[in-house]
């Protein structure tokens, strides 16, 4: 593995994250569910969720990171994670394939955001759940951020129904986060 990939893996593995187990409090999973992990990185969501559902598709733009995730899954003897490399704005995935889509700290740099959210809407089944965890925009933020109100507005515009919006006390990299739970109810 090249130096860039090793640095990225080290950074992703050491960053303070929203605990994957806390995500279970926002929705329920069924053993038959197909889950899409958007911006899967090193698999901090894909790996624990794989044991609870039929399948997880780990989606990321970085092929090298996905190869690392595949190796971790193999090492843990997890066989129901499929990795897919691509762009959030044009996902090479069939429509209405997933029961749940999760984007954890992965949408803040996507432009245009609306195009990516339209893709998330497209790949979810009617009745599917979209869970979005993002860094809230604060005055001290140095990197791109999407304020929670803007995220809600764009999600509604593409057809999602917002069922929950919270500001948990958990922080990521010492920054406040928000959690939005949305449903695709076929009302677009």
Domain at 126, CATH number: 3.40.50.150
Question: How does the average pLDDT of the chain come out, rounded?
Answer: 88
Separation CA 148–CA 111 (nearest Å): 16
Residue 188 lies in a domain: no
CA distances (Å), origin 185, targets 47, 130, 182:
28, 11, 9
The answer to whether residue 87 is domain-embedded is: yes
Q: Is 62 part of a structural domain of the chain?
A: yes
- Segment 43-55 mean pLDDT: 93
CA atoms within 13 A on the CB side of 87: 7
pLDDT of residue 31: 96
pLDDT of residue 188: 52
Give a yes or no: residue 147 inside a domain. yes
CA distances from 28 to 8, 132, 138, 161, 174 (A): 31, 15, 31, 17, 28
Is 26 part of any domain?
yes
Task: Please count the structural domains in the chain.
Answer: 1
- Residue 7 has a pLDDT of 62
Task: State which residues form the domain around 102.
Answer: 3-183
Q: What is the pLDDT of residues 117-156, one digit of tens each?
A: 999 999 999 999 999 999 887 776 667 788 899 999 999 9
């Amino acid at each position: 593995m090249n130096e860039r990939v090793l640095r990225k893996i080290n950074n992703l593995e050491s960053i303070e994250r929203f605990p994957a187990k806390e995500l279970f409090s926002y929705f329920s999973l069924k053993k038959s569910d197909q889950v899409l992990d958007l911006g899967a990185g090193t698999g901090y969501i894909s790996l624990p969720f794989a044991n609870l559902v039929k399948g997880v598709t780990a989606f990321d733009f970085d092929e090298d990171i996905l190869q690392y995730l595949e190796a971790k899954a193999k090492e843990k003897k997890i066989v129901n994670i499929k990795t897919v490399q691509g762009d959030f704005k044009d996902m090479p995935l069939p429509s209405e394939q997933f029961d749940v889509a999760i984007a954890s700290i992965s949408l803040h740099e996507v432009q245009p955001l609306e195009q990516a959210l339209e893709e998330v809407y497209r790949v979810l089944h009617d009745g599917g759940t979209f869970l979005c965890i993002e860094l809230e925009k604060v005055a001290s933020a140095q990197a791109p951020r999407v304020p929670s109100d803007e995220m809600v507005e764009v999600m509604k515009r593409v057809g999602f129904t917002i069922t929950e919006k919270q500001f948990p006390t958990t922080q990521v990299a010492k920054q406040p986060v928000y959690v939005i739970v949305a449903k695709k109810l076929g009302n677009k």
